[in-house]
Amino acid sequence: MQTQVVVLRWGHRPQRDARLTTHVALAARALGATGFVLSDIVDNSLKKTMEQVKENWGGNFSFEMGTPWKKVVKDWKQKGGIVVHLTAYGENIQSSNVLNEIRALKKDILILVGSQKVPAAFYSVDISDFNVAVGNQPHSECAALAIFLDRLFEGKTLAAPFENAKKRIVPKKRGKQVE
């Protein structure tokens, strides 16, 4: 499997998207991504939240922000990685062979996730190696990311332990327990 799967969040508007972008970052971390890039903007509140999550719940998850998305994509591709754009207009993850094609490359993956209408360039071969849809209907980018990562990792990250965790949820039939 890939050594790195990093999520690039594009178009974040702090006053409007703070909660959903936080959820995208949390889903990325919980479902096996190794990092998160908030492109083009700095949001110190989001950074603080993600640092606290990593401190308490462990794991090896990088977080960066402020780098222009074009630079992130260019650098990623120069290092030999591939870019997957999650969009409702892409190849359907269920009815196409796109996921097998991505896995077969055995390359690091940068996942582009928008928060508003993305530039047309995102769909081009210059930017995205794959345009992937978890369904060809309007849907949440957080849901798309969760389904894509779960399918990419074949569900194996759902029970994976996180190193250096100070806290751990104990799965229970009823109630809540944190150690």
User: To the nearest whole percent, how much of the chain has pLDDT over 90?
Assistant: 84
d(Cα 38, Cα 43) in Å, to the nearest integer? 8
Fold (CATH) for 5-159: Alpha/beta knot (3.40.1280)
Domain boundaries, the chain: 5-159
The 3-state DSSP class for residue 36 equals strand
pLDDT of 1: 54
Please, where are the H alpha helices in 63-140? Answer: 69-78, 98-105
pLDDT of 3: 80
Flag whether pLDDT at 66 surpasses 70: yes
Flag whether pLDDT at 29 surpasses 90: yes
Return the residue matching tokens 């029970």.
159
Grade residue 2 by pLDDT with cuts at 50, 70 and 90. low
Sheet containing 62-65: which strands, arranged edge to edge?
A: 62-65, 35-38, 5-10, 109-114, 82-92, 130-133
